[in-house]
Amino acid sequence: MTGIRDGVAAGVVWSPSLLEYRHSADHPMSPRRLDLTMSLATELGVLQGVDLIDPGSATDEELLRVHTSRYIDSVKAAGGLPPGEHVGMSHGLGTADNPTFPGMHEASAAVAGGTLAAARAIADGVATRAVSVAGGMHHAMPAAAAGFCVYNDAAVAISWLLDNGYDRVAYVDIDVHHGDGVQTAFYEDPRVLTVSLHQHPATLWPSTGWASETGVGRAEGMSVNLAYLPAVTDPLWLRGFHAVVPGLLRAFEPQIIVLQAGCDSHREDPLADLSLSVDGHRRSYLDVVALADEICEGRLIAIGGGGYELVRVVPRSWTHLIGAVLGVPVDPDTVVPESWRTMAGRLTVPDRVPQSMSDGEIPEYTPWEPAGADRGVEIDRSLARLDQSILDTRRSVFPLHGLDPDDPRD
């Protein structure tokens, strides 16, 4: 079920059944983005020698780890309604974000099954890392669909891991939207560290993910949120990531990391306002893989999430993700195969089809230091605002992990 690359056993979860998750013909979360990703990864040779892991389907019992029985029954019923009908059902179904579609339960259970299959492959020792780009439905709540998400595959898989040999799981969410559903699922569970890096909740749905949301009871400090104001670029985003994520992961010492790699933080994404490049995405994936290698013997589950520029962004970003997980990073200067460009050109204006695997950016950053302005160092307003957001997050949670929020070495 896996391929051995650079001494690491890694698996890729995939089946055409995952293309059945399709709310409507014009819905932003089109399965074409998955099809184009897997086609690009295949044509570039990233998947060479890798036997794909079949996602199977999450059972009702497995979904009940996170979701209520009444909600699951409602999803099954929704799958029997006319496609795309906005019927105003309960449980967040039949809305503009989550219109009904035939086979809604079966398609959603396959997505959850894919992330579970990745978790099982690692728990069984078959793989050290695994990736399922169809996963990442991080907004789904216990009794409601939300934000294009029906079943919360990440929360289901984390719950399964907690019952199968793991008692410290770190969830890192780099989607532009707050990972609210996963945070909710484990807000009182000290065994799960959830870290979400997202666009500021005052400027983007779901309007949650403030630094003050830190968990409750014994789990206080286990929910971590870093918010970015609109227009943040690769250097600023990476500055924030490295000011928060590595120190917390090293302090928590997870046995496995779950990475939600939504790529809707890209500057061309139509639904959000950050300004990252595919080069910045690639750097973030490699940084998380390196942290997994350092902290938890490489154990990593990577899943997809948001990303709504279907041709120029998602296929390249997630091909970089697959390459990073498999231990065969794709060179940014790699030319996109002409055959793939021809296929993708049927879905957009031909001159918008990307020529290479890079946006031409160099994703470097300046490490964070506190209170630069207080020392008379002049910095621009965007950097000052980011640094204040970093400090808010660090001061909210770092002391709870025995870390000094004002010491950049922590």
pLDDT tens profile 77-133: 999 887 765 666 799 999 999 999 999 999 999 999 999 999 999 999 999 999 999
Q: Does the pLDDT of residue 160 top 70, yes or no?
A: yes
Average pLDDT, the chain: 94
User: What are the Cα distances from residue 173, in Å, to 55, 170, 179?
Assistant: 22, 10, 6
Give the pair of three-digit tokens for residue 301.
């589950």
Kindly report the CATH number assigned to the domain that includes residue 114.
3.40.800.20
Residues 66-81, mean pLDDT to the nearest whole number: 95
pLDDT, position 376: 45
pLDDT, position 6: 55
Q: Does the pLDDT of residue 323 top 50, yes or no?
A: yes
Q: pTM (2 decimals)?
A: 0.96
pLDDT, position 89: 79
**338-365 burial, b if ≥16 CB within 10 A, otherwise e?**
eebbebbeeeeeeeebbeebbbebebeb
- In terms of Cβ atoms closer than 10 Å to its own Cβ (0-12, 13-18, 19+), residue 315 is buried
Residues 50-70, mean pLDDT to the nearest whole number: 97
Residue 283: inside a domain, yes or no? yes
Task: In whole angstroms, give the CA distance from residue 74 to residue 80.
Answer: 10
**CB–CB of 288/276 below 8 Å?**
no
pLDDT tens profile 219-260: 999 999 999 999 999 999 999 999 999 999 999 999 999 999
Residue 170: inside a domain, yes or no? yes
**20-33 burial, b if ≥16 CB within 10 A, otherwise e?**
bbbbbeebbbbbbb
pLDDT tens profile 342-378: 999 988 887 899 999 999 999 999 999 986 544 445 5
Active-site residue list: 139
Residue 319: inside a domain, yes or no? yes
| Among the listed residues 92, 97, 137, 102, the one whose alpha carbon sits nearest the alpha carbon of residue 116 | 137
Residue 33: inside a domain, yes or no? yes
Percent over 90 (pLDDT), the chain: 90
Residues 182-209, mean pLDDT to the nearest whole number: 98
Tell me how many domains the chain contains. Answer: 1
Given CA atoms 336, 342, 344, 347 in this order, what sign does their dihedral have?
Answer: positive
Residue 408: inside a domain, yes or no? no
pLDDT, position 351: 85
- In terms of Cβ atoms closer than 10 Å to its own Cβ (0-12, 13-18, 19+), residue 270 is exposed
Task: In whole angstroms, give the CA distance from residue 232 to residue 304.
Answer: 21
**Bond preceding residue 142 cis, omega within 30 of 0:** no
Q: Which domain holds residue 379?
A: 3-401
Residue 406: inside a domain, yes or no? no
Q: Does the pLDDT of residue 15 top 60, yes or no?
A: yes
- pLDDT band for position 4 (cuts 50, 70, 90): low
Residue 118: inside a domain, yes or no? yes
Q: Does the pLDDT of residue 306 top 70, yes or no?
A: yes
Give the pair of three-digit tokens for residue 19.
């293309």
Percent over 70 (pLDDT), the chain: 95
Q: Does the pLDDT of residue 167 top 70, yes or no?
A: yes
Residue 193: inside a domain, yes or no? yes
Given CA atoms 390, 396, 397, 398 in this order, what sign does their dihedral have?
Answer: positive
Greatest alpha-carbon pair distance for the chain in Å reads 65
